[in-house]
Structure 1
Amino acid sequence: MSHTPKTFRDIEQFEVKTKNLQQEKHLQQLKVLLPSLPPYVFKYFQKNRKRSATTLFNYANDYKLFFNFLADNNWVLETINKDTISPVDIPITILAELPLEEAEEFQGYLDGKYEQRTVNRRISALKSLFNYLTQKSEDPKTKEPYFYRNVFAKIETTKVSSDPVKRADSFEQKIYRGNEDIRFLDFIASDYEKALSPIQLRFFLRDKNRDLAILSLFLGSGLRLSELAFLQLEDINFEENSLGVFRKGQSGKVYVTVNPRAMDELKEYLHTRTENYGCANDEKHVFFTRYKGSYSPLSIRSIQDLVEKYSKAFNVNKRLTPHKLRHTFATKHWTANKDLIGLQTQLGHTSSEITSSYTHVGKDKQHKNLENMDKLED
């Protein structure tokens, strides 16, 4: 069975409609990933150009993980009678003959590393790929699909409960509660540097204003990681204390309100940005890093790493992610305002059912309320 090899020219000419800067960046990152995937997978992406660049980029990452797994799999190596193989060279016959046991092993691998929603999404991406290869593809010679056996159709995923109470319970212990978020920011501002070596201190002082701005924005607005990572100077409105972002389901930019402390931290960072990173004053991207004498936009991965680093230093038993900082903001917003529609708008949720999770956080206060009621009966 033959497959048209994908060339760099094919990849350069691969285009998907993009609506904003974030999707344009994901398209470029997708083009970087495609050469590491087998040719028949590239055909899948050509067939699915109507999907957003962000969705296709996420799928490419899922497939890269899967083919890396196959390249290290003993059954694969024994089947092709080789000691090693590159993921890009995995023959399509491996997918056609992949035993259910090996597919379930990959699912188990995911279960050990990721949350259930992420596992489900990655299995869903593979179901989509295998559905294309077994039903919608066409081999140039046979005019038939590449193969007919879809092993991932046999893989069942674990349904994630939509019960808002259960969803709230799942993350209540993984967020900052009460005034813990304020103490966390104060710790970074005043105490974190006390335990650093001279070299660590030098880099921390360079990045301090930037990192405080990032952490404050997560905790003071509920921004998503991608929204913060792709923030542009033109998106900032200091007069209205708001930031413009592109959100799913929105045709244009929407403005998200930010608390004054976070905007002050952002302003302080912008005052030192050019001096610390060497970028021009009018450089459109907001957050930068500096390496070997040149500056570049701060990546999503770098933002994730700095959140984990600081939260671990603050409390080794509570390592947070940007998403957990967003949960922290949402929980605090609900506790203070009891405004479900306002919170839904602030977070950019398309469904109030998702937002309602936060209305069930705060069981300690519920217990206290009942205790106070009991006291009235004495």
Structure 2
Amino acid sequence: MSTLVEECRDFIDMLHAKHHFSTHTLRQYQQDVRQFAEFLEERSRTSFAEVDVYTVRAYLSHLYDKGYARRTIARKLATLRSLFKHLIQRGRLTDNPLMLVATPKTEARLPRFLYPREVEQLLAVIDTGTPLGLRDRAIVETLYASGMRVSELVGLDLEDVDLATGQARVWGKGRKERIVLLGSYAIMAIGKYLKSGRPQLAAKCKDGLDQGALFLNHRGTRLSDRSIRRLLDKYARQLANLINLSPHVLRHTFATHLLNGGADIRVVQELLGHAHISTTQIYTHTTREALRQVYVDAHPRAKGAKP
């Protein structure tokens, strides 16, 4: 095993142990460091100790030539900064060549969200006549009603959900616990799934033991975040206007609809589990329809004049 591979694996193991990142986030880190390691191997570099500022800049040029967006390149560079910081802390390196490399500037990107009618269209294409359909309806309702992250959703156990109070306990980034609210539609959808969907899925588990996860796959075991992304993509393909649908789009939708409905931004911050208010402020964009309605309702001369 090469030194590059060993150091990459050690870095990923550290992230998994210390930061409790989701499977999806860890997979991104892993892909980023592996891609850089492959770039180095193609240039006969066998260790990260052989990397200098010119090597990093050549790698960034390589990514630009490959057609990667600035935002993606900035994320990959951030991964490398974390990697080299780790290597220095472990005593593998003494100098950090990333200190001399500037992060590519990226344009601010407003989060994509669904309009209420699009949420209704999404829910309408789910066939609730099957156990999997009942599960999928409950998943979409829960993501939209609570704003939880996909990693938080797949981590839910039966004991974490209290339908009587309409609350669920989730574990956010850094294993921070918080309570999210579900709302009447999500409560109803989860209740139907627990009664008529989950028992059939749980019975398919090979060892016959119910693992206690709330959302199960067709084999009776816990759903993965990748499975959630796939099922949303399946339903989005049935609706031409819902391209690039993801769990995070539903999280954006949750936040946007709350703010457009008049919710205080600090309340939304708490519900989303954001550590800093600045993270939540990106959701203060509003739809043109919402802006127009506020104008019509508030301005004394916005309404049609009488002849």
Query: What TM-score, normalized to structure 2?
Result: 0.79
The alignment of Structure 1 onto Structure 2 pairs a total of residues equal to 299
Counterpart of 2:80, as a letter, is L
Contact 1:76 1:94 in 2 (8 A): no
Summarize the alignment of residues 294-333 of structure 1 with structure 2, pairs less than 5 Å apart: 294-316=219-241, 318-333=243-258
Question: How far apart are residue 307 of structure 1 and its match?
Answer: 1.3
Query: Is residue 65 from structure 1 mapped to residue 19 from structure 2 by the alignment?
Result: no
Which residue number in structure 2 is paired with residue 87 of structure 1? Answer: none
Aligned to 2:122: 184
2:178 aligned residue: 254
- In 2, the alpha carbon distance for the partners of 1:189 and 1:60 equals 31
Shift of 1:127: 1.4
Unaligned runs of 5+ in 1: 7-35, 81-89, 139-144, 191-203
Going from structure 1 to structure 2, the CA distance change for 1:98 and 1:335 (only over 3 Å counts) comes to same
SS of equivalent residue, structure 1 residue 254: strand
After TM superposition, give the deviation of residue 367 of structure 1 in Å: 3.3
What is the rounded CA distance, in whole Å, between the counterparts of 1:151 and 1:281 in structure 2? 51
Deviation by residue 1:89-133 (Cα, 9 ceiling, x = unmatched) = x544654597244321455379726x82x6434322211322444
5 Å matches for 1:138-287? 138=91, 146=93, 148=95, 150-159=96-105, 170-171=110-111, 174-189=112-127, 205-248=130-173, 253-271=177-195, 272-278=197-203, 279=205, 283-287=211-215
Amino acid at match of 1:157: T
Output the CA distance in 1 between the equivalents of 2:165 and 2:198.
22
Match of 1:124 among 51, 71, 78: 78
Change in CA separation of 1:295 and 1:69 when aligned onto 2, cut-off 3 Å:
farther
Q: Distance in 2 between matches of 1:314 and 1:48?
A: 38
Is the 8 Å Cα contact of residues 70 and 76 (structure 1) preserved in structure 2? Answer: yes
Specify every segment of 5 or more residues in structure 2 that has no aligned partner in the other structure, as ranges. Answer: none
Question: Post-superposition, which runs of at least 4 consecutive aligned residues in structure 1 deviate over 6 A?
Answer: 45-50
SS state of the match for residue 235, structure 2?
helix
How big is the shift at 1:266?
1.1
Contact 1:59 1:125 in 2 (8 A): no
Of 102-111 and 224-233, more deviation after overlay is shown by 102-111
The Cα of 1:37 is off from its aligned counterpart by 6.4
User: Is contact 1:244-1:256 (8 Å) kept?
Assistant: yes
The residue aligned with 1:29 is: none
The alpha carbon displacement at 1:260 in A equals 1.1
Partners of 1:260 and 1:98 in 2: how far apart? 57
- In the superposition, the TM-score normalised over structure 1's length comes to 0.66
Q: Distance in 2 between matches of 1:112 and 1:282?
A: 44
Change (3 A) 1:58 1:257: closer
Distance 1:121 1:188, change over 3 A: same
Alignment pair present for 1:39 and 2:6 = yes
Paired residue for 1:24?
Answer: none
Residue 367 (str. 1) matches residue 292 (str. 2): yes
Equivalent pairs: percent with the same residue? 23
Q: Distance between the aligned counterparts of 2:105 and 2:181, measured in 1?
A: 34
Task: Judge conservation of contact 1:37–1:64 (CA < 8 Å) in 2.
Answer: no
The equivalent of 2:19 in structure 1 is: 52
d(CA) in 1 for partners of 2:24, 2:183: 32
Does the 8 Å CA contact 2:11/2:86 hold for their aligned counterparts? yes
376 and 341 in structure 1: CA distance in 2 versus 1, 3 angstrom threshold:
same
Aligned-CA RMSD value: 3.7
Quick one: which amino acid aligns to residue 153 of structure 1? Answer: M
Q: CA deviation at 1:344?
A: 2.1
Matched AA of 1:122: K
Taking a change above 3 Å as real, the CA distance of residues 336 and 246 of structure 1, as seen in their structure-2 partners, is: same
Judging changes above 3 Å, is the alpha-carbon distance between structure 1 residues 288 and 94 closer, same or farther for their aligned structure 2 residues? farther
Cα 1:248/1:189, change in 2 over 3 Å: same
Taking the aligned partners of 2:65 and 2:192, their CA distance within structure 1 comes to: 44
